[in-house]
Chains A and B, each alone.
Chain A
Amino acid sequence: MAARDDTERHGWKWLLSAPALLVLLVAASGPLMIVAVYSFLSPGNIGGVTWDFSTEGWFKVFFSRDIFEPENVSWNWANLTVFGRTVWLSVQTTLICAFLGFPTAWFIATRTPEKRALWLFLITIPFWTNLLIRTFAIQELIRGTGMINTVLMALGIIDEPLQLLYSNFAILLGMAYVFLPLMVLPLYAAMDKLDFRLVEAGYDLYASRARVLWHVILPLVKPGFVAGSILVFIPSIGAYVTPRVLGGGRTMMLGNLIALQFGQGRNWPLGAALSMLLLIVVMAALVFYLRAVNSEEGKRRG
């Protein structure tokens, strides 16, 4: 009786979400569909696509044909290198953010409530400035005649400038800096909920500091790590600005490669295929990650 009343009463209420659904459909699913469709079309002469079905876009993601002998197919190492570098740099960024974010979040969570607000405020300050500006600021720090090199040379520690810019290191530095707050905030949220009496209980039951951290604190703030890792990994793998500014033309990431296909490369289907690949990688990584996290939970329970 009550259940039927509920359905009757709520029957039309889903309409309230219709505007949001419409926006999602048009603005999120729509472009995604276009990209999916474009990845199976042929490139136009001056960019764009011609409506001929082709798997050439997808083919070129992984393989390349010899210009003179098109039958001679080999792995497209240029793309695969970019792809591997993207995943590897994103994993490293996530790990670095986790290592740096944990003590930071712990520090904030163990302050008095008024001071916590201040520290959280400070953590979010970088977001007030445009990403591009912040990335150029990093460039200014590490470039050949930048601050770090100038200081090190003035101190006589090095004789000639270190080549820091336009390297994997530069990209990693930039991404870790940009995405660190995204790890700190969910970690802080998890620690804020942490019952510190459990930490005391751990000490009381003969656990050392390290073992309290491992057996009590880390399992309890794991949801924060999971959320933070997702928040850092996903934008890292699709990063464009940071590798563009700090990585230069040689050390590209997937985002730059995609942009290249839609710009100078004039190969929209290849760009679309790369975009879809990025989407698949992110989804696969998420599924794999969440499965691993949950199965560990299951083992613990069993």
Chain B
Amino acid sequence: MSGNEIEISGLGKVFGQGASAFRALSDINLTIGTGEFFTLLGPSGCGKTTLLRTIAGFEAPSSGSLRINGEEVAAKGPNARPVNTVFQNYALFPHMSVAQNIGFGLKMLGKPKSEIDATVAEMLRLVRMEAMKDRKPSEISGGQQQRVALARALAPRPRVLLLDEPLSALDLKLRKEMQSELKRLQSETGITFVFVTHDQEEALTMSDRIAVMSAGRILQLGTPHEIYHAPADRFVADFIGDTNFLTVPVAASDGQAATVTLPGGTQAAARLPEGMIPVTGQEVTAVVRPEQATLMPAGQGEMQATVGTSTFFGTDTHIHLTLSDGQGFILRRQNATDMASPEPGQTVGIGLGAGTLRILKD
């Protein structure tokens, strides 16, 4: 990664006017590095697609600046930006063959025919669609259309490739295949990818960095590791992976770490988010990932709980527990062959390793 491909500052977008105005994006500040696989993650309606469409040029920002490769492009149309989009439903031209679709961008750029043919052949090879080059989009499968859409967007060698939930229409197996295909294409071409998805797992597995969005704002910006292990707030913690939220009183706090009183009375150290200094006795929200807690015999561990239902997931089992003060807790245990699920109603201990407990900002 060298240099900044996209620099967004103070970007806002308002749809409509007056009373019916809808603020889709508020004060977006974002820098995406060259060659980065960057993901915009959030639930539907969070503004991620609007942000992508603004980068592409389909929406004009209401405020703020948008630079691509150092050049201000906020006032430019989509055809004047070195950016191509892979649309959610591919948007392949139905009246053109696969090869014509892929060559369209180059043709519009006025490239000579020999160059177009060479690039189209190269792209067909890259997405392994050589045999289908004369077919119409309606004559190939969804996964193949997806690959053609990718090739069409990559053919003009854009500086940035924008992908709007490109895998959401595919079935699970094909989606997994395309995920690794996308990673391969990105490393082979070195093009900056901006990827929009609502699938947190997809975001975690593919991205160099993720921006988690909600209600038109970026809530947290970081690597998948940071986002998962150090969620900035309750929304991010809830949206990314499964999380146990515990409402607990603070026993002591020194600005770096705090001690909280867990249900049952045990005191445990918990990490504090930056800039938060809770007072003793204040109720805070502490989070624990289900896989970071361990099941222990009754009497051991930091908390005691009653077993509810267990759900078998193949690789692991989710055990639903009720803590001594009535709060729910989910524990995720990796399955081994000889492991029996605990009986409902049984009392068990929950072990929390060092550093697993984390306090969230209000």
**Looking across the interface, which residue of chain A has its beta carbon closest to that of B77?**
A203
* A205: chain B residues within 8 A (beta carbon): 79, 84, 104-105, 108, 152-153, 156
Most buried by B among A195, A201, A208, A211: A201
Bound: A195/B57 CA distance, A: 18
Q: Kindly report which residue of chain B lies nearest to residue A211, judged by CB atoms.
A: B108
- Residue numbers in A under 8 Å from B94 (CB-CB): 198, 220
Asked if B91 is an interface residue, CB under 8 A from chain A, the answer is yes
Q: Nearest A residue to B58 by beta-carbon distance?
A: A200
A197-B87, A197-B89, A211-B108 known; A204 vs B78 contact (CB < 8 Å): yes
Residue of B nearest to A207 (CB): B108
Q: Which size bracket describes the interface of A in this complex?
A: 10 to 19
Given A203-B77, A203-B79: A197 in contact with B91 (beta carbons within 8 A): yes
Main SS of chain A's interface residues?
Answer: helix
Whether A203 and B93, one on each chain, are in contact in the complex, defined by CB atoms closer than 8 angstroms, is no
In the bound complex, residues from chain B placing their C-beta under 8 Å from that of A215 are: 104, 108
- Pick from B89, B92, B136, B156: contact of A206, CB below 8 A: B156
A300 / chain B contacts, CB cutoff of 8 Å: 95-96
- Please state if A206 and B91 are interface contacts (CB–CB under 8 Å): no
Give Cα distance in the complex from A204 to B149, angstroms: 12
Is A96 part of the binding interface, using a Cβ–Cβ cutoff of 8 Å? no
CA gap between A203 and B76 in the complex, in Å: 12
Are the C-beta atoms of A201 and B93 separated by less than 8 Å? Answer: yes
The reply to whether the CB of A245 lies closer than 8 angstroms to some CB of chain B is no
CB distance B79 to A207 under 8 Å? yes
A219 pairs with B95, CB closer than 8 A: yes
Which of B87, B96, B105, B156 is close to A200, meaning CB atoms less than 8 Å apart?
B87
Interface residues of A in 203-223 (CB under 8 A from B): 203-208, 211, 215-216, 219-220
Q: In the complex, are the beta carbons of B56 and A204 less than 8 A apart?
A: yes
Tell me the bound Cα distance from A200 to B84 in angstroms: 11
How far is A198 from B152 in the complex, measured between Cα atoms in Å?
A: 13
Q: Taking the nearest CB of chain B, how far is it from the CB of A211, in angstroms? A: 6
CB 8 Å contact bits of B60-88 with A (1 = contact, 0 = none)? 00000000000000000111000111010
- Residue in B56, B91, B94, B96 whose Cβ sees the most chain A Cβ within 10 Å: B91
Can you list 26 A-B contacts with CB-CB less than 8 angstroms, sorted by A residue number?
Answer: A195-B91, A197-B91, A200-B58, A200-B85, A201-B85, A201-B87, A201-B91, A201-B92, A201-B93, A202-B108, A203-B57, A203-B77, A203-B78, A204-B57, A204-B78, A205-B84, A205-B104, A205-B152, A205-B156, A206-B156, A207-B79, A208-B108, A215-B108, A220-B94, A300-B96, A301-B97
Chain B contacts to A: CB under 8 angstroms: 56-58, 77-79, 83-85, 87, 89, 91-97, 104-105, 108-109, 136, 152-153, 156
- Which 10 residue pairs of A and B lie closest in terms of their CB atoms, listed nearest first? A205-B105, A197-B91, A206-B108, A201-B91, A203-B78, A207-B108, A219-B95, A206-B79, A204-B78, A204-B85
